[in-house]
Chains A and B, each alone.
Chain A
Amino acid sequence: GEDVEQSLFLSVREGDSSVINCTYTDSSSTYLYWYKQEPGAGLQLLTYIFSNMDMKQDQRLTVLLNKKDKHLSLRIADTQTGDSAIYFCADFPTDSWGKLQFGAGTQVVVTP
Chain B
Amino acid sequence: DAGVTQSPTHLIKTRGQQVTLRCSPKSGHDTVSWYQQALGQGPQFIFQYYEEEERQRGNFPDRFSGHQFPNYSSELNVNALLLGDSALYLCASSLEGGRAHEQYFGPGTRLTVT
A97/B48 in contact, CB under 8 A: yes
A104/B107 in contact, CB under 8 A: no
A41 to B109, CA, bound (A): 10
Most buried by A among B92, B101, B106: B101
Q: A99-B48, A99-B56 are known contacts. Are A105 and B101 too (CB-CB below 8 A)?
A: no
CB distance from A15 to the nearest CB of B (A): 29
Q: Which of B29-63 contact A (CB under 8 A)?
A: 31, 33, 35, 40-45, 48, 55-56, 58
**Count of chain A residues near B, Cβ 8 A:** 23
Point out the residues of chain A lying under 8 angstroms from B35, CB to CB: 100
Interface residues of chain B, those whose CB is within 8 Å of chain A, are 4, 6, 31, 33, 35, 40-45, 48, 55-56, 58, 90, 92, 94, 100-108
* Pick from A30, A42, A45, A98: contact of B106, CB under 8 Å: A42
The 6 closest A-B pairs by CB, nearest first: A102-B42, A43-B105, A97-B56, A42-B107, A42-B105, A99-B45
Q: A31-B101, A43-B90, A96-B56 are known contacts. Are A101 and B45 too (CB-CB below 8 A)?
A: yes
| Residue ID in chain B nearest A99 by CB atoms | B45
Point out the residues of chain B lying under 8 angstroms from A98, CB to CB: 31, 33, 48, 55-56, 94, 100-101, 103
A24 within 8 A of B: no
Most buried by A among B4, B40, B94: B40
